[in-house]
Amino acid sequence: MEKKDTLAMKLDESEDYALGSITTDDKKLIRKIDSHILPIMFMTYFLQMIDKISINYANVMGFQDDLGMTGNDFSWLATAFFIAYAVAEIPQGALLQRFPVSKVLGANVLCWGIILCCSSATKNFAGMIALRTLLGLLEAVIAPSLTIYTSMWYTRAESTPRYGFWYCGLGAGQIIGGLISFAAQHAPANLSFGGWRIMFVVIGAVNVLVSLLVLFVLPETPEKATFLSDSEKQRIAQRLQLDQAGVGAKTFRWRSVLEAFADLQTWLLVLLTILITIPSGVITTFSSILIKGFGFGNKQSALLNMPSGVVSIVSTMVSTYAIAKGFSRWLAIDLLLIPTLIGSCLMSFLPSSNKGGCLAGIYLVNTTVAPLALIYAWTGANYKGYTMKVAGTALISAAFSIANIIGPQTFQSKDAPQYIPAKITLVAVNAAAILISTLLRIMYGRRNSRADRLGTPARSSMEARTASTQNANVDDKTFRYVY
């Protein structure tokens, strides 16, 4: 009874909480949640990144020669993966709506681990492109599932650095992937089972092991978490309700899908994602080739690609931590895109003989991965309800895949080894992304101002038209967009 009274007193402090203060007990609870779920979320994002860039490293390990690839075959491997990735967002979103997020994610991780192992046995381009297509279908689940899952546990202010933490799996994948590639290239040359095949088996096997953690250790919901007491479960629900965070009831609503598709916010975020991800996709797939083109050997290319991961991690953690302390999201994105723009210019306009400058350009371009983590955080914070979050994150993930379809196709074999058209594309899309991020800030600000004036929740014009007094939630009147 005394514990319940204490809990009620904490709820009475909702005004202080809304201003950002949390109790010592809340801090302990957050640390407890972090220790149980964040490492597994990090591992899943890390491994899907390793899966993506494994083909990048295989490309400097005799991969194309072994499979008899010519011309733009390698670019089409990347394109096929992301076409499948985009197409799969709708069925994967439907699965996330129907089944527990952790189970859908775990089943996909298990399947893509098996497929990656099978990739080591391919003998030709046709077999590899078929497997990469299947891999794209399965990995489409990663961003929507982790975005929704993070929203189940944390308030909007707390969730941003958590998005950043699991998103750092991308940078870690670049670092560890370089070491794996370097090690695999030391396999004896007379082995029929080449170094890149060994690499695929090792990465695939680790994916299978981690899938078991996701399936059997990661809780489906806070309510089903065995590491939490009943009062802690209640506190999580109450904190999310006070913050207007969380995913709400897991009920499918066609109205929410329509609202997501008709919201200008959605299409600005989609466009921003495409513009930001084109450089990221280029670097993910072609960085080893670009570094090799500067005059470095295969083993050197693998190692020299590793600092890219350090840049990704530092830029992601610094920006998400700054936002947790009150820094503006849109301004963080714009500031991160400046070194990306500088790096694109260095890559595009310096002669390849200037190895140091060209390498610096590649490393700086990797700051472009951090804004994508902030977009995921925006999506988790600014879409209301489970269905709208699923629809929003699915569209953002589809935009991510579309950008990765476009990026590799800017690299045409006829432009080798400098790939000048692709490099100029990087400059143009980064400049446009700064403009779109600023437009988002203006739109969110206008919506919040209108809500303050009318005493209504901040929302799009479509949401305002479809809202009805009988299903309006009084608490929703406090909802404001974060920017």
- Please give the single-letter amino acid code of residue 219: P
Domain membership of residue 21 (yes or no) is: no
Q: Give per-residue burial for 5-26: e unless 16+ CB within 10 Å, then b.
A: eeeeebeeeeeebeeeebeeeb
pLDDT tens digit string along 90-135?
899 889 888 999 999 999 999 999 999 998 888 898 999 999 999 9
pLDDT tens digit string along 258-295?
888 888 999 999 999 999 888 766 666 667 777 877 77
- Please give the single-letter amino acid code of residue 85: Y
Q: Is 353 exposed, middle or buried (0-12, 13-18, 19+ CB in 10 A)?
A: exposed
Of 284, 271, 286, 287, which is closest to residue 435 (Cα–Cα)? Answer: 271
Average pLDDT, the chain: 81
pLDDT at position 471: 47
Domain membership of residue 2 (yes or no) is: no
Structure tokens at 260: 């997501």
Cβ proximity of 116 and 51 under 8 Å:
yes
- Which residue has better confidence, 301 or 142? 142
Q: What is the pTM of this model?
A: 0.77
Domain with 148, as residue range(s), is 32-467
Of 338, 346, 351, which is closest to residue 362 (Cα–Cα)? Answer: 346
Structure tokens at 174: 């670049």
Distances (CA, A) of 105 to 40, 93, 149, 152, 214: 11, 11, 10, 15, 7
Cβ neighbours for 208, distance < 8 A, ≥ 6 positions apart: 110, 113, 114, 117
Domain membership of residue 323 (yes or no) is: yes
pLDDT at position 171: 87
Domain membership of residue 5 (yes or no) is: no
Distance, in Å, from the CA atom of 461 to the CA atom of 58, rounded to the nearest integer, reads 49
- In terms of average pLDDT, the best of 359-363, 381-385, 466-470 is 359-363
Statement: residue 12 has pLDDT above 90: no
Cβ neighbours for 197, distance < 8 A, ≥ 6 positions apart: 120, 121
The count of domains in the chain is 1
Distance, in Å, from the CA atom of 192 to the CA atom of 103, rounded to the nearest integer, reads 38
pLDDT at position 43: 93
Domain membership of residue 7 (yes or no) is: no
Q: Residue 187: left (phi > 0), alpha (psi -120 to 50), or beta?
A: beta
Domain membership of residue 472 (yes or no) is: no
Statement: residue 2 has pLDDT above 60: no
Structure tokens at 453: 């004036």
Alpha helices in 1-23 (DSSP H): 2-11, 14-18
**Sign, Cα dihedral of 12, 17, 19, 25:** positive
Taking residue 466's Cβ as centre, other Cβ atoms within 10 Å add up to 15
Q: Is 190 exposed, middle or buried (0-12, 13-18, 19+ CB in 10 A)?
A: exposed
pLDDT tens digit string along 61-81?
778 888 888 877 887 887 888
| Residue that is written with structure tokens 């996909």 in the block | 108
- Which residue has better confidence, 306 or 184? 306
Domain membership of residue 63 (yes or no) is: yes
Domain membership of residue 474 (yes or no) is: no
pLDDT at position 35: 93
Distances (CA, A) of 451 to 207, 442, 477: 46, 14, 8
CATH number for the domain that contains residue 388: 1.20.1250.20
Statement: residue 198 has pLDDT above 90: no
Q: Is 188 exposed, middle or buried (0-12, 13-18, 19+ CB in 10 A)?
A: exposed
pLDDT tens digit string along 168-180?
888 888 888 778 7
